[in-house]
């Protein structure tokens, strides 16, 4: 079918303004610039019925579809590889009223994380998932990748915030569970199954999400440590000493300096290792945090945010790591988990091994230390395979995961047989065929062969 006819058909479904060729790469190239190329056909349905109509049209012509939200994914899962159509959910951005009794809200999958956080805040509540891409990442994308972020240690991953979903499956059927029932033990948990499915089982069109109470006091401090081991130990002490810990984000001197150089973000002191600690409670938690820290070794400095501006500045030091590294080139991004007990040793080992394997490369390590989830970004150097084997091989040696929170996408498909059992992979294939019998929803993502 020629391009005009194709756009004509799709435009008749979604409106001519919402079916077009993306010549500049906004939808066709991923955030890391490592995947995709300009020129994909993009459709932006405005309702679940239009999503069904687009899916039926594509299915009838065996045209594959890549569901896309904010296109902030970091594993190449949201852009076409070989002629797929991008189905953008950005217009499905309704934000329902907050139900104060159940502390739930129904939102369109195209609503951004920031918009949902604001709606919850206006109702005196909080949506517990948060991370640097909040302004563009969509709720549908965070469900599809089961996104983590900075508050996982207290509230869990996205899956734990999802009460129900509406989604269009690969056969065009609409799967709907938005009633908000907290208890419904009638059969398989199909909602959880779609969380983390990366657009391969269904296109999420709406989500019923759980909100949490908004604490009246927040305490944010940047703590400097002499060593990695001291930092990891201190986070363990704080985590076991209080229920108010929301976030513990580790950064190294190299990353903090780079954020300073790239974006002029200052830091209150220099240290080899930093941990951004944030706690919230209905009393001021700062004294408790200070008392717990006072018993920790290796603390070199502490700076406590005194107001919203200084709190924001401390968070910018952490949030801007990804973008700052991107100013120096296209990094190889490794988003890994290792058992927290092995974390300090892993971080020391991985930076040393990468520089041995690829002397011309530069490694930045930062991340969600309480979850054992580190982001290892490697710039420069020339041997992708050697670097990948060095980092991910070490992760598997430590009994960790090659993908902590970003998903598998196209970036880590090759590692799935080394991460998951044959039983697991065969079961995933069977589920995929049940939800998407034509294998045309995001066919090049997550597994090499369906």
Interface contacts to ligand MLT, rule CB under 6 A? 74, 131-132, 321-322, 333, 335, 367, 375
- 199 vs 326, which CB is nearer to ligand MLT? 326
Least distance to ligand FAD from the beta carbon of 84, Å? 10
Nearer to ligand MLT, 281 or 365 (CB): 365
Residue 70's binding partner out of ligand FAD, ligand MLT, none, with CB under 5 to 8 Å set by partner kind: ligand FAD
Q: Is the dihedral of CA 305, 309, 311, 313 positive or negative?
A: negative
Nearest to 74 by CA among 393, 409, 445: 409
Shortest Cβ distance from residue 321 to ligand MLT (Å)?
Answer: 6
What is the number of other CB atoms lying within 10 angstroms of the CB of residue 326?
Answer: 18
Residues that bind ligand FAD (CB under 6 A): 31, 66-74, 77-78, 89, 109, 131-133, 136-138, 140-142, 144-145, 147-149, 198-199, 203-204, 322-323, 405-406, 409, 442, 445
Q: Cα Rg for the chain, rounded, in angstroms?
A: 22
Query: Please, what is the minimum distance in Å from the beta carbon of residue 31 to ligand MLT?
Result: 9
Rounded Cα distance between 363 and 377, Å, is 6
Closest CA to 94 of 157, 29, 178: 178
The option from ligand FAD, ligand MLT, none interacting with 321 (CB < 5 to 8 A, set by class) reads ligand MLT
Residue 29 has what DSSP assignment?
Answer: B
In the numeric block, which tokens belong to residue 404? 């902590």
- Residue 420 CB burial class (10 angstroms; 0-12, 13-18, ≥19): middle
Phi, psi (degrees; rounded to nearest 5) at 301:
-160, 155
Q: Which is nearer to ligand MLT, 90 or 375 (CB)?
A: 375
- The CB-of-102 to ligand MLT minimum distance in angstroms stands at 30
Residue nearest to ligand FAD (CB): 141
| Residue 163 touches which member of ligand MLT, ligand FAD, none, C-beta under 5-8 Å by kind | none
Complex with ligand MLT: residue 103 or 368, whichever CB lies closer: 368
How buried is 2 (Cβ within 10 angstroms: 0-12 exposed, 13-18 middle, 19+ buried)? exposed
Residue 158's nearest CA partner among 140, 136, 176 is: 140
Among ligand FAD, ligand MLT, none, the one that 375 touches (CB under a kind-dependent 5 to 8 A) is: ligand MLT
For ligand MLT, give the closer residue by CB, 32 or 200. 32
Of 198 and 388, CB closest to ligand FAD: 198
Nearer to ligand MLT, 131 or 274 (CB): 131
What is the per-residue DSSP string for 357-409? H-TTEEEEEEEEGGGTEEEEEEEE-S-HHHHHHHHHHHHHHTT-BS-SSS--T
Q: Which of ligand MLT, ligand FAD, none sits in contact with 80, Cβ below 5 to 8 A by type?
A: none
């Amino acid at each position: 079918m020629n391009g005009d006819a194709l756009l004509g058909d799709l435009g008749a479904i979604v409106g001519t303004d919402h079916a077009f060729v993306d010549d500049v790469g906004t939808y066709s190239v991923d955030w890391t610039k490592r995947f995709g190329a300009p020129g994909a056909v993009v459709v932006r349905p405005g309702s679940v019925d239009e999503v069904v109509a687009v899916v039926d049209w594509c299915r009838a012509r065996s045209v594959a579809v890549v569901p896309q939200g904010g296109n902030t994914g970091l594993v190449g899962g949201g852009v076409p590889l070989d002629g797929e159509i991008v189905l953008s959910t950005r217009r499905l951005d309704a934000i329902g009223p907050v139900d104060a009794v159940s502390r739930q809200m129904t939102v369109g999958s195209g609503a951004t994380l920031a918009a949902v956080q604001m709606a919850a805040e206006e109702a005196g509540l909080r949506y517990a998932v948060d991370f640097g891409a909040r302004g563009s990442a969509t709720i549908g994308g965070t469900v599809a990748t089961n996104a983590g972020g900075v508050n996982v240690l207290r509230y869990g991953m996205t899956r734990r915030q999802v009460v129900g979903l509406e989604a269009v499956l690969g056969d065009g059927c609409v799967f709907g569970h938005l009633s908000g029932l907290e208890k419904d033990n009638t059969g398989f948990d199909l909602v959880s199954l779609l969380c983390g499915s990366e657009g391969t089982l269904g296109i999420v069109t709406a989500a019923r999400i759980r909100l949490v109470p908004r604490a009246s006091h927040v305490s944010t401090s940047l703590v400097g440590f002499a060593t990695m081991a001291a930092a990891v130990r201190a986070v363990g002490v704080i985590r076991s000493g209080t229920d108010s810990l929301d976030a513990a984000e580790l950064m190294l001197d190299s990353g903090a300096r780079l954020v300073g150089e790239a974006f002029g973000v200052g830091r209150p002191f220099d240290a080899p290792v930093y941990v951004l600690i944030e706690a919230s409670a209905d009393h001021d938690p700062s004294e408790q945090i200070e008392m717990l820290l006072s018993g920790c070794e290796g603390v070199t400095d502490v700076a406590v945010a005194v107001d919203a501006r200084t709190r924001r500045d401390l968070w910018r030091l952490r949030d801007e790591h990804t973008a700052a590294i991107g100013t120096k080139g296209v990094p190889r991004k490794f988003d890994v988990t290792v058992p927290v007990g092995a974390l300090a040793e892993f971080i020391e080992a991985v930076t040393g091994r990468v520089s041995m394997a690829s002397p011309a490369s530069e490694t930045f390590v930062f991340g969600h230390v309480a979850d054992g989830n580190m982001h290892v970004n490697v710039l420069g150097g020339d041997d992708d395979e050697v670097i990948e084997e060095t980092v991910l091989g070490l992760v598997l040696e430590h009994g960790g995961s090659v993908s902590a929170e970003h998903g598998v996408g196209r970036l880590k498909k090759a590692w799935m047989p080394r991460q998951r059992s044959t039983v697991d992979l065969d079961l995933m294939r069977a589920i995929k065929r049940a939800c998407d019998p034509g294998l045309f929803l995001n066919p090049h993502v997550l597994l090499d062969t369906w």
